[in-house]
Amino acid sequence: MSKKKRKELTKLSIAELKALVQKPDLVEWTDTSAPDPRLLVHIKAHRNVVPVPTHWSLKREYLSSKRGIEKPAFALPKFIQETGISEMRDAALEKQEQATLKQKQRERVQPKMGRLDIDYQKLYEAFFRFQTKPELTRYGEVYYEGKEYETNLRHLRPGELSDELKEALNIPPGAPPPWLINQQRFGPPPSYPALKIPGLNAPPPPGAMWGFHPGGYGKPPVDEHNRPLYGGDIFGVLQTQQTAQQGEPVEKDLWGELQPME
């Protein structure tokens, strides 16, 4: 028996390796070729372990496909642009281009300082009040080709429809999403059991109506005893009870108000 066949007989399959380790979702198809596959997956399962970059198995060189891409010009952050330094610099450069040769030589010998003088209050507000944090790479992440073109999903939240999605699906204001009818039939998403969805386990917004007409919220998901199938207060009964005032009315008049000057 050759050495290659002996190695193939002792080599674990992906299914066998996934059955032996505690976290089978970390197993990749290349892990079975390692000298000790179980030790490799055990190391990968540790907390805060930086993964091996994905370009290790590529035949071509790292970032070789970005050679012909034109790099965009550098742009100042928005909080620095609002100080007006770009306009002042452009005006100074334009004035410098219009200067004569004698003025340029005099400027080299006796340069004038402090031409781009910006108000201190503007600089303070720009760097201490309006400064925004740039997009940073997370721990253990390595840059790969095309990473800057990926859609950023960190600011998105489940259940909240963005303006771009509403415009793409042509959803008018106050209308439900088109998948609400199927959610009323099959239930809320199992990954988000506590998510409140209007028309499913929460009352529709003010001004909306039940029904299958354009802009309607379908049929209320209730059983034969008129109880909600997926919990929640779909008819808004509890909200009216909570907003009902209990006890004596509270005086909200201002006290200690200064009299107007005559």
For residue 51, the enclosing domain spans 8-61
Q: Which of 20, 38, 61 is the last residue of a domain?
A: 61
pLDDT (tens digit per residue) in 91-111: 777 887 888 888 888 888 887
Is residue 14 in some structural domain?
yes
Is residue 113 in some structural domain?
no
Is residue 104 in some structural domain?
no
The two structure tokens encoding residue 115: 């031409």
Q: Which of 61, 87, 105 is the last residue of a domain?
A: 61
Please give the pLDDT value at position 81. 86
Quote the pTM value.
0.50
Cα distance between residue 38 and residue 256, in whole Å? 75
pLDDT (tens digit per residue) in 149-205: 888 787 888 888 888 899 999 999 889 999 999 999 998 898 888 889 998 888 888
Characterize 40-64 residue by residue with b for buried, 16 or more Cβ atoms within 10 angstroms of its Cβ, and e for exposed: bbeebeeeeeeeeeeeeeeeeeeee
Residue 43 has pLDDT above 90, yes or no: yes
Is residue 181 in some structural domain?
yes
Is residue 24 in some structural domain?
yes
Show the CA angle centred on residue 133, arms to residues 132 and 134, nearest 5°. 115
Residue 139 has pLDDT above 80, yes or no: yes
Show the CA angle centred on residue 168, arms to residues 216 and 135, nearest 5°. 120
| Residue 222 DSSP class | B
What Cα–Cα distance (Å) separates residue 65 from each residue in 26, 54, 94?
28, 15, 38
Bridge-partner residues for 198, per DSSP? 202
Number of structural domains the chain divides into = 2
Residues contacting residue 176 through CB under 8 Å, at least 6 positions apart? 198, 199, 204, 208, 215, 216, 217, 218
Is residue 124 in some structural domain?
no
Please give the pLDDT value at position 245. 56
Please give the pLDDT value at position 247. 64
Is residue 219 in some structural domain?
yes
Distance of CA 78 to the CA centre of its chain: 19
